[in-house]
Structure 1
Amino acid sequence: MATTPREWLQSNGVDLSSGYSSNLQSALLVDTLKESNSALKDANAALKDLVSSLQSERDLLIDKNNKLVAQLARRLNPNEAANADRENRLSQLDLSKLPQEIVLRICLAAIPDKYQHDYSFAAGPRSPWFKWLNTRTALTLVCRAWNGPASEALYTDITFRRAGQIPALARTFRASAVVNAPNRARYVKRIYMDWCTVMSHCEKIVRDDLMYLLQHCTALKSFALRPHPVMWASHNPDAPIIRHRPHYTSNPQWLLSKEGNPAYGIALASQCGAGLQELAFVGPLISPQSLNLFCLLQGAVHLKTLIFGAVEFPNVQIGSSQPPTPAQVALPRLEELQLFLHNDMPRLHNYICGAWHLPVLKRLTLSGCNFFPADILAKHGEMLEYLHLRFVPSTSSPWRDQRPEFGFSRIRRCCPHIQHLVVPFLPAYNLLCTIDSPTLRYLDMWGGRHKRRVVELMCELGRASELPSLRSVRILPSALAHILPQDVPLICHPTDVSDDEVRMRTFPAARVLQTSWALLTDCGMDWGVAFLDDEMCDDDSDGSNYEPEEQGANENGDGDDEDEDDGTSWVSDSEAGDLASDDDTALSSEEESGMEYDREAVLQRYAQSQQEDFLFDDDTDGEESEELHVDIRARTDI
Structure 2
Amino acid sequence: MSTEPSCPSSTTAEELQAELARLRSENVSLAELNIALKEGNLALKDANTALKDLLASSREDRSALLSQQTRSQQRQYAESAAQTDPLDRAVGVATLPQEVLLQIFLSTIPPDHTYDPSVLSGSRNAWLDSVKTRRALPLVCKSWYGTGSEALYRDIVLQRMGQICALARTLRSSCVTYGPDPSELVQRLRLTHCIVQPTCMDVVKEDLTFVIEACAHLIVFEFHPHPAFDDELRTSEPHAFLHLNMLDDISENRTSLALCEQFGHGLRHAVFAGPLKIQNLRCIDQVLRAGTHLSRVDLGPYNGGAKVLHFSRSNDDVPIVLPHLTHLSLHVDEDHGRFLDYICESWKLPVLSHLTLHSCQELPTPLLAHIGLVLHYLHIIPSLHWDGSDLRSTLADLPTLCPFLEHLVLPHIPTLTLQCTIKSPTLQYPDIWDTLMQKRHVVELMCKMGIACRLPSLRTLRLLSWGSGDSSALPLILVLCHPTDISGDEVRVVTLPGVRLVQTSWAVLLDRGLGYAGKVTFINSSP
| Pair in the same fold by TM > 0.5 | yes
Instruction: Report the alpha carbon displacement of residue 311 of structure 1 after superposing the two structures with TM.
Output: 1.3
Q: Do the aligned partners of residues 45 and 424 (structure 1) sit closer, same or farther apart at CA in structure 2, a change above 3 Å counting?
A: closer
Q: Do the aligned partners of residues 360 and 246 (structure 1) sit closer, same or farther apart at CA in structure 2, a change above 3 Å counting?
A: farther
Contact 1:378-1:414 within 8 A present in 2 as well: yes
Q: 1:494 maps to which residue?
A: 483
Contact 2:212-2:262 within 8 A present in 1 as well: yes
Q: 2:146 maps to which residue?
A: 148
Instruction: Report the alpha carbon displacement of residue 249 of structure 1 after superposing the two structures with TM.
Output: 4.3
Alignment of 1:504-523 (within 5 A): 504-523=493-512
Mapped pair 1:310 → 2:298: no
Contact 1:273-1:300 within 8 A present in 2 as well: yes
In the alignment, the residues of structure 1 paired with residue 390 and residue 126 of structure 2 have an alpha-carbon distance, to the nearest angstrom, of: 46
Q: 1:257 maps to which residue?
A: 249
Instruction: Report the alpha carbon displacement of residue 459 of structure 1 after superposing the two structures with TM.
Output: 1.3
Q: 2:460 maps to which residue?
A: 472
Q: Do the aligned partners of residues 385 and 322 (structure 1) sit closer, same or farther apart at CA in structure 2, a change above 3 Å counting?
A: closer
In the alignment, the residues of structure 1 paired with residue 248 and residue 505 of structure 2 have an alpha-carbon distance, to the nearest angstrom, of: 43
Mapped pair 1:346 → 2:341: no
Q: 2:30 maps to which residue?
A: none
Q: For 1:349-385, what per-residue CA distance to the aligned partner results, in whole angstroms no more than 9, with x for missing partners?
A: 2222222100000110010112122222222112211
In the alignment, the residues of structure 1 paired with residue 482 and residue 408 of structure 2 have an alpha-carbon distance, to the nearest angstrom, of: 12
Q: For 1:92-125, what per-residue CA distance to the aligned partner results, in whole angstroms no more than 9, with x for missing partners?
A: 9942222110111111122111122111111112
Q: 2:260 maps to which residue?
A: 269
Mapped pair 1:294 → 2:271: no
In the alignment, the residues of structure 1 paired with residue 420 and residue 199 of structure 2 have an alpha-carbon distance, to the nearest angstrom, of: 61
Mapped pair 1:440 → 2:427: yes
Q: Do the aligned partners of residues 174 and 379 (structure 1) sit closer, same or farther apart at CA in structure 2, a change above 3 Å counting?
A: same
Instruction: Report the alpha carbon displacement of residue 53 of structure 1 after superposing the two structures with TM.
Output: 4.6
Q: 2:127 maps to which residue?
A: 129
Q: For 1:447-492, what per-residue CA distance to the aligned partner results, in whole angstroms no more than 9, with x for missing partners?
A: 2321222111111111111112212222222221212332321122
Alignment of 1:314-393 (within 5 A): 315=306, 325=313, 327=315, 328-391=319-382
Q: 2:118 maps to which residue?
A: 120
In the alignment, the residues of structure 2 paired with residue 215 and residue 59 of structure 1 have an alpha-carbon distance, to the nearest angstrom, of: 73
Contact 1:288-1:314 within 8 A present in 2 as well: no
The DSSP-based 3-state class of the residue aligned with 2:242 is coil
Give the root-mean-square deviation of aligned CA atoms: 3.1
Instruction: Report the alpha carbon displacement of residue 344 of structure 1 after superposing the two structures with TM.
Output: 3.6
In the alignment, the residues of structure 2 paired with residue 62 and residue 482 of structure 1 have an alpha-carbon distance, to the nearest angstrom, of: 72
The DSSP-based 3-state class of the residue aligned with 2:478 is helix
Deviates more, 1:413-422 or 1:356-365: 413-422
Segments ≥4 residues shifted beyond 6 Å: 43-49, 57-63
Contact 1:511-1:525 within 8 A present in 2 as well: no
Q: For 1:180-235, what per-residue CA distance to the aligned partner results, in whole angstroms no more than 9, with x for missing partners?
A: 42111111010111111122121111111111111111110010011111014327
In the alignment, the residues of structure 2 paired with residue 414 and residue 478 of structure 1 have an alpha-carbon distance, to the nearest angstrom, of: 27
Mapped pair 1:245 → 2:246: no
Contact 2:422-2:454 within 8 A present in 1 as well: yes
Contact 2:260-2:290 within 8 A present in 1 as well: yes
Instruction: Report the alpha carbon displacement of residue 255 of structure 1 after superposing the two structures with TM.
Output: 4.0
In the alignment, the residues of structure 2 paired with residue 59 and residue 335 of structure 1 have an alpha-carbon distance, to the nearest angstrom, of: 68
Instruction: Report the alpha carbon displacement of residue 432 of structure 1 after superposing the two structures with TM.
Output: 1.1
Which amino acid in the other structure matches residue 273 of structure 2?
V
Deviates more, 1:273-282 or 1:371-380: 371-380
TM-score computed with the length of structure 1 as normaliser: 0.65
Which amino acid in the other structure matches residue 445 of structure 2?
L
Q: Do the aligned partners of residues 59 and 386 (structure 1) sit closer, same or farther apart at CA in structure 2, a change above 3 Å counting?
A: farther
Q: 1:426 maps to which residue?
A: 413
Alignment of 1:41-60 (within 5 A): 51-56=50-55
Contact 1:193-1:225 within 8 A present in 2 as well: yes
1:209 to 207, 222, 245: 207
Higher normalized contact order (CA 8 Å, seq sep 6+, divided by chain length) = 1
Contact 1:255-1:268 within 8 A present in 2 as well: no
Instruction: Report the alpha carbon displacement of residue 298 of structure 1 after superposing the two structures with TM.
Output: 1.1
Q: Do the aligned partners of residues 57 and 136 (structure 1) sit closer, same or farther apart at CA in structure 2, a change above 3 Å counting?
A: same
1:450 to 438, 443, 449: 438
Contact 1:510-1:525 within 8 A present in 2 as well: no
Which amino acid in the other structure matches residue 487 of structure 1?
L
Instruction: Report the alpha carbon displacement of residue 279 of structure 1 after superposing the two structures with TM.
Output: 0.7
In the alignment, the residues of structure 1 paired with residue 314 and residue 155 of structure 2 have an alpha-carbon distance, to the nearest angstrom, of: 33
Q: Do the aligned partners of residues 257 and 248 (structure 1) sit closer, same or farther apart at CA in structure 2, a change above 3 Å counting?
A: farther
Which amino acid in the other structure matches residue 440 of structure 1?
L
In the alignment, the residues of structure 1 paired with residue 457 and residue 302 of structure 2 have an alpha-carbon distance, to the nearest angstrom, of: 37
Alignment of 1:604-619 (within 5 A): none
Q: 1:8 maps to which residue?
A: none
Q: Do the aligned partners of residues 133 and 472 (structure 1) sit closer, same or farther apart at CA in structure 2, a change above 3 Å counting?
A: same
* Unmatched runs of 5 consecutive residues or more in structure 2: 1-41, 63-88, 521-527
TM-score computed with the length of structure 2 as normaliser: 0.78
The DSSP-based 3-state class of the residue aligned with 2:250 is coil
Q: For 1:11-45, what per-residue CA distance to the aligned partner results, in whole angstroms no more than 9, with x for missing partners?
A: xxxxxxxxxxxxxxxxxxxxxxxxxxxxxxxx999
In the alignment, the residues of structure 1 paired with residue 141 and residue 439 of structure 2 have an alpha-carbon distance, to the nearest angstrom, of: 54
The DSSP-based 3-state class of the residue aligned with 2:474 is coil
In the alignment, the residues of structure 2 paired with residue 302 and residue 411 of structure 1 have an alpha-carbon distance, to the nearest angstrom, of: 30
Instruction: Report the alpha carbon displacement of residue 131 of structure 1 after superposing the two structures with TM.
Output: 1.6
Deviates more, 1:48-57 or 1:502-511: 48-57
Q: 2:22 maps to which residue?
A: none
Contact 1:294-1:326 within 8 A present in 2 as well: no
Instruction: Report the alpha carbon displacement of residue 498 of structure 1 after superposing the two structures with TM.
Output: 2.4
Deviates more, 1:489-498 or 1:190-199: 489-498
Which amino acid in the other structure matches residue 251 of structure 1?
H
Contact 1:290-1:314 within 8 A present in 2 as well: no
Deviates more, 1:132-141 or 1:111-120: 132-141
Instruction: Report the alpha carbon displacement of residue 322 of structure 1 after superposing the two structures with TM.
Output: 5.4
Contact 2:269-2:297 within 8 A present in 1 as well: yes
In the alignment, the residues of structure 2 paired with residue 423 and residue 268 of structure 1 have an alpha-carbon distance, to the nearest angstrom, of: 36
Q: 1:38 maps to which residue?
A: none
Which amino acid in the other structure matches residue 146 of structure 2?
G
Q: For 1:239-273, what per-residue CA distance to the aligned partner results, in whole angstroms no more than 9, with x for missing partners?
A: xxx6x83663432223443132x622110000111
Q: 1:285 maps to which residue?
A: 276
In the alignment, the residues of structure 1 paired with residue 515 and residue 117 of structure 2 have an alpha-carbon distance, to the nearest angstrom, of: 22
Instruction: Report the alpha carbon displacement of residue 292 of structure 1 after superposing the two structures with TM.
Output: 1.7
Contact 2:492-2:502 within 8 A present in 1 as well: yes
Contact 1:189-1:220 within 8 A present in 2 as well: yes
Instruction: Report the alpha carbon displacement of residue 521 of structure 1 after superposing the two structures with TM.
Output: 2.0
Instruction: Report the alpha carbon displacement of residue 52 of structure 1 after superposing the two structures with TM.
Output: 3.4
